[in-house]
């Protein structure tokens, strides 16, 4: 999992490497370096293919530029004597087992680590919270309010839908904000169009993976937070860390069966000893790289640092070390920690995804014929056989999303690929 990017430009035929935290910086290379060449080899083409098929690059080392490489999360990079060496220094794994006799100790230790994770990412007197009506982001707001008790030092910002899809986030986020005692500002996203550019440059992104159909509302929410503070917090990702599936059989049934079948003396496997497969699989997902990179100031061009306290190594290691049941099933640990801090309607609220996909609803509501008929850059035909496209009316949700990605790639090839040196100072 990568929270901040480190990219490396090493042009062929030179002995110079350029490091930066974002791609626009290395693409505005020094005069003695040839610019990065996109889409010129199989590696770059594979990155585009991955994007068209899944929405993101499956190789965390590569970009769509042959000469630009990315350092994966949890790795260090060393350059010496003409060679580049990477080394992994952290990986999500069940390293130690933490067991307390008193169940309250699990909650107390979690509160200590969670508070430290938030405090370490504040370092400011004013903070914005990207807050839905769910448990993760509202819990962040509670802790931030404890750390910054001054009036309006913590402010919540929420994207809501009032008509496009059924959505209760306005109600629950307002309920939470009132209980915590912080102001909240709602951004109604019903009126946005797909790929809407509210400000010049909103759709100019380093790679096509970062071009969202919901760019208009996404960028406007970031601008609202940037107008309030220089630091914002998100609730990514309590779901990955504390939402393991519950064991289907109780331990008192599993243990005797295990002894009888295996006929060995080792201690039988129970749900609390099983590997944290769901959590580790989620943490190692390829989706995190483009997600977090999309918040980087080098991409947003905003004076806003977006930080994610739940992805604190100390907190992650702790959550991987405690018993799964009951603490990491259905966010029991977080619900227990916030039992007296948030309204019961929030702490008992089940995980509630959006009732529909806003991008697909916007597509169908607007009848966006431009998804079937738009000006095609010649470069697009290297990756997409446009003659095989079907009309929008025939599309399934997956096929519609594939068509949205084709449109986004075409836009990126046309508008974002030729970068202007003046964009990066």
Between the alpha carbon of residue 361 and those of residues 164, 189, 273, 402, the distances in Å are 7, 12, 43, 15
pLDDT for 40: 54
Q: Encoding tokens for residue 416?
A: 């974002």
Other CB atoms within 10 Å distance of the CB of residue 220: 19
Task: Name the residue with tokens 């080899």.
Answer: 41
pLDDT for 383: 86
Taking the alpha carbons at both ends of the chain, their separation in whole angstroms is 29
155-167 residue pLDDT tens: 999 999 999 999 9
pLDDT for 378: 86
Between the alpha carbon of residue 254 and those of residues 143, 270, 293, 322, 362, the distances in Å are 39, 7, 43, 20, 49
Give CA–CA dist 21/6, Å, rounded: 5
The residues of the chain scoring below 50 in pLDDT are 31, 248-271, 273, 420-425
Q: What percent of the chain has pLDDT over 70?
A: 80
5 in helix, strand or coil?
A: coil
Between the alpha carbon of residue 313 and those of residues 3, 74, 90, 91, 123, the distances in Å are 11, 10, 9, 10, 18
CATH number of 104-243+276-347, picked from 2.70.70.10, 3.40.50.620, 1.10.760.10, 3.10.129.10: 3.40.50.620
Are 219 and 198 a contacting pair, CB within 8 Å? yes
Residue among 76, 44, 46 nearest 63 (CA): 44
Give DSSP secondary structure letters for 336-379: HHTTTTS-HHHHTPPP---SS-HHHHHHHHHT-GGGTS-PPPGG
204 in helix, strand or coil?
A: coil
222-251 residue pLDDT tens: 999 999 999 999 999 898 999 888 654 444
pLDDT for 305: 96
| Dihedral sign from CA coordinates of 246, 248, 250, 253 | negative
CA 71 from centroid of its chain's CA atoms:
17
pLDDT for 258: 41
Percent helix, strand, coil in the chain, to 5, is 40, 10, 45
Residue 42 CB contacts under 8 Å (≥ 6 apart), including other chains:
none
> Per DSSP, which regions of 167-275 are E strands?
184-188, 231-233
Whole-number CA gyration radius for the chain: 24
pLDDT for 167: 92
**Which sequence spans correspond to the domains of the chain?**
7-90, 104-243+276-347, 377-416
256-261, long-range: CB < 8 A, 24+ apart: none
Q: How is the beta sheet containing 68-70 ordered, strand by strand?
A: 18-20, 7-9, 68-70
Q: Encoding tokens for residue 112?
A: 């200590």
Give CA–CA dist 240/293, Å, rounded: 18
């Amino acid at each position: 999992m990568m929270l901040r990017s480190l990219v490396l430009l090493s042009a062929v035929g030179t002995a110079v490497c350029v490091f930066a935290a974002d791609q626009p910086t290395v693409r505005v290379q020094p005069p003695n370096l040839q610019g990065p060449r996109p889409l010129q080899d199989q590696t770059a083409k594979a990155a585009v293919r991955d994007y068209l098929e899944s929405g993101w690059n499956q190789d965390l080392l590569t970009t769509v530029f042959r000469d630009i490489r990315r350092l994966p999360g949890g790795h260090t990079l060393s350059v010496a004597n003409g060679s580049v060496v990477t080394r992994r220094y952290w990986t999500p794994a069940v390293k130690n087992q933490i067991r307390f006799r008193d169940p309250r100790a699990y909650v107390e230790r979690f509160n200590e680590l969670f508070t430290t994770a938030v405090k370490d990412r504040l370092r400011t007197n004013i903070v914005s919270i990207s807050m839905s009506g769910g448990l993760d982001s509202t819990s962040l707001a509670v802790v931030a309010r404890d750390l910054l008790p001054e009036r309006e030092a913590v402010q919540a910002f929420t994207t809501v839908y009032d008509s496009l899809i059924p959505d209760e986030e306005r109600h629950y986020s307002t309920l939470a904000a009132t209980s915590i005692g912080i102001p909240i500002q709602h951004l109604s996203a019903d009126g946005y169009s797909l790929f809407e550019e509210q400000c010049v440059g909103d759709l100019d992104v380093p790679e096509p993976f970062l071009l969202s159909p919901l760019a208009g509302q996404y960028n406007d929410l970031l601008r609202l937070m940037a107008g309030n503070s220089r630091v914002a917090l998100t609730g990514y990702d309590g779901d990955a860390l504390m939402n393991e599936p519950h064991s289907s059989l109780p331990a008192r049934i599993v243990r005797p069966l295990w002894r009888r079948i295996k006929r060995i003396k080792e201690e039988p496997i129970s749900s609390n000893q099983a590997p944290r497969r769901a959590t580790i699989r989620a943490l190692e997902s390829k989706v995190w790289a483009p997600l977090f990179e999309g918040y980087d100031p080098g991409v947003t061009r905003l004076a806003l640092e977006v930080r994610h306290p739940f992805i604190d190594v100390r907190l992650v290691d702790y959550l991987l070390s405690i018993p799964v049941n009951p603490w990491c099933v259905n966010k029991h640990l977080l619900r227990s920690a916030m039992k007296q801090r948030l309204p019961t309607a929030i702490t008992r609220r089940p995980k509630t995804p959006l009732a529909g996909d806003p991008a697909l609803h916007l597509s169908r509501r607007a009848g966006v014929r431009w998804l079937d008929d738009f000006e095609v850059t010649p470069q697009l035909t290297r990756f997409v056989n446009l003659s095989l496209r079907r009309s929008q009316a025939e599309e399934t949700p997956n096929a519609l999303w594939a068509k949205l990605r084709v449109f986004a790639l075409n836009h990126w090839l046309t508008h974002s690929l030729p970068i202007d040196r003046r964009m990066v100072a």
